[in-house]
Every structure is written in C-alpha cells, then in structure tokens.
Amino acid sequence: MAVDPSKIVQLGDGRNGNLVPEDPTHNTLLTRAGLEDTVWATRLDAVMGWARKFSLFQYPFVTACCGMEFMAVSASHYDTDRFGAALPRFSPRQADMLMIVGTIVHKQAPVLKAVYEQMADPKWVVAVGACAVSGGFYQNYTSVPGADKIIPVDVYIPGCPPRPETILDALVKLQEKIQHSRHNVL
C-alpha cells in the first residue's frame, strides 16, 4: 500500500511521554536566541531534570490488588520518601506522576482519561502491575487490555503484583528518563 507523503508524521523521541510529539518549534527563549542545542540548554535541562526527578508528586490511581503493594512501597519497609516521591497529591492538577495501579476496566476508562487530561505538563505515567500494562490475565468483555490503550505510558512495571523493589526500580528508571529528557523551560 502506498504511503501518502503528506501524512508522514515524524515519531517523537518518546521522552515526556509522547510518541507523537507536540509542535517541535518550541517558542522558548533559548530557541529564539538560537541557543537551543548549546551548553546553556543542556545544563539547564540537567538542572531541571534533577529538580523534577527528585520532587515527584504522585497521583495514585489505585484500583485493585497492586494498591496493596503500593501501600507497602509507601510505608516504612520500602520507602518512596527516600526518592522524593512520597507525597501523594489527590488532585490531578497538583500531581505530575500518574501511577496507574491495578486493572482498568471499561467503566473506569473515561475517568482515567479525564484524570490524565487534567494533569498539567510535564507529566509522566507509570503503569504498575500486569493489569495496567497489558490487561493481565483478564481477557474479557470488561477489562481494558492495558492502560496504554487509553493514555500514553512511560514506565511499565510487570508483576502480579510487582514486588515493592520492582516499583522502586521503576521509579529510579523514571527518574533517569526525567533526568535525560528535554525540559524546554527557558
């Protein structure tokens, strides 16, 4: 089948959670000054990355069993506070990390989408557990086969439920991703 050249969309780099990126002509100060790829921008991005990764405010979208492991990972044995990601913000407007913990069903899908759309940029999404990653072993009329059928996901955590160390490992991977992405602040 022939490809229509006008429809070719350049795939995004996947950072900041979007495979199809937003308008690439960022109208930022450094872009207008032509300093977009210089040391000023990269150092600034590194500083912003460091700041953002250690102050993640999570929105725990807890539905099912993985919520118990999420509770355990926030408690004293395996502490997310060490990583700066302790405080859950129960309003999506104030949160920047959406953790989808548990199965998403079709009744819940519009709610998840609404919560994601209410979050302000920059936002990252973590799918915790097999059900959020791919539907788990629920393959039926009501289960959404993976939260990424609804919203873009940055980090996928397998496990049913994943051990708390796995969730912490995913948090560290997300922090690495945040550290090395473009933040386009200034």
Partner 1 sequence: MSDTTPELSPVLSAVLEGLGDKVLGWHSQFGDDTVLVDGAARRDVATWLKDGDLAFDMLMDTTVVDYIEEEPRFEVVDHFFSTKHHHRIRVKSRVPEDKPNSPSLTPLYGSANWMEREAFDMYGVVFDDHPDMRRILLYPEFQGYPLRKDYDKLHEQPLFPARYSGVRETDEVMNPRVGVELPIHGTEVPR
Partner 2 sequence: MSVNRQDRTSTPVKTLAKPKTAYNFGGELVELPGDIRMHRIYPEGEDADLSSRTVVNIGPSHPAMHGTIRMVVELDGETIVGVDVIPGYLHRGFEKECEAHTYHQAIPYTDRLNYCSPLINNFAWAGAVEKMFGVEVPERTKLIRTYLSEVSRITDHLTSMGAGLMELGALTAFLYLIEVRDWMWEHICHVSGARLTQSYGRVGGLARDVPNDWLDRMNEIFETSLIPKLRDVHNLVDHNRIFIDRMRGVGVVSQEDLISYGVTGPCLRAAGVGLDCRTYAPYDAYDQVTFDVPIGKYGDNYDRYFVRMREMEESMKICRQLDPLLRKSVGEPINVDDARLTLPPKKEVYSNIEALMNHFKLIMEGPRPPKGEVYHAVEGANGELGFYLVSDGTGLPYKARCRPPSFVNMGAIHLMLLGSQIADIVPIFGQINMIGGECDR
Q: Which does 3 bind (CB under 5 to 8 A by kind): partner 2, partner 1, none?
A: partner 1
Amino acid at 132: A
Site for partner 2 (CB under 8 A): how many residues? 33
Q: Is 171 in the site for partner 1 (CB under 8 A)?
A: no
**Number of C-beta neighbours around residue 161 at 10 A:** 22
Q: Which does 20 bind (CB under 5 to 8 A by kind): partner 2, partner 1, none?
A: partner 1
Q: Which does 185 bind (CB under 5 to 8 A by kind): partner 1, partner 2, none?
A: none
Q: Which is nearer to partner 1, 41 or 151 (CB)?
A: 151
Residues 65-104: x/- map of binding to partner 1 (CB under 8 A)? ----------------------------------------
Q: 3-state SS string over the chain?
A: CCCCHHHCCCCCCCHHHCCCCCCCCCCCHHHHCCCCCCHHHHHHHHHHHHHHHCCCCEEEEECCCHHHHHHHHHCCCCCCHHHCCCCECCCHHHCCEEEEECCCECCCHHHHHHHHHHCCCCCEEEEECHHHHHCCCCCCCCECCCHHHCCCCCEEECCCCCCHHHHHHHHHHHHHHHHCCCCCCC
**Number of C-beta neighbours around residue 78 at 10 A:** 15
Q: Of the ranges 9-17, 28-36, 150-158, 160-168, which one interacts with partner 2 (CB under 8 A)?
A: 160-168
Residues 91-130: x/- map of binding to partner 2 (CB under 8 A)? -----------xx-x-xx--xx--x---------------
Distance of closest approach, residue 19 Cβ to partner 1, in angstroms: 6
Q: Is 141 in the site for partner 1 (CB under 8 A)?
A: yes
Chain residues binding partner 1 by CB under 8 A are 1-3, 7-9, 11, 19-20, 106-107, 109-110, 113, 139-142, 144, 146, 148-152
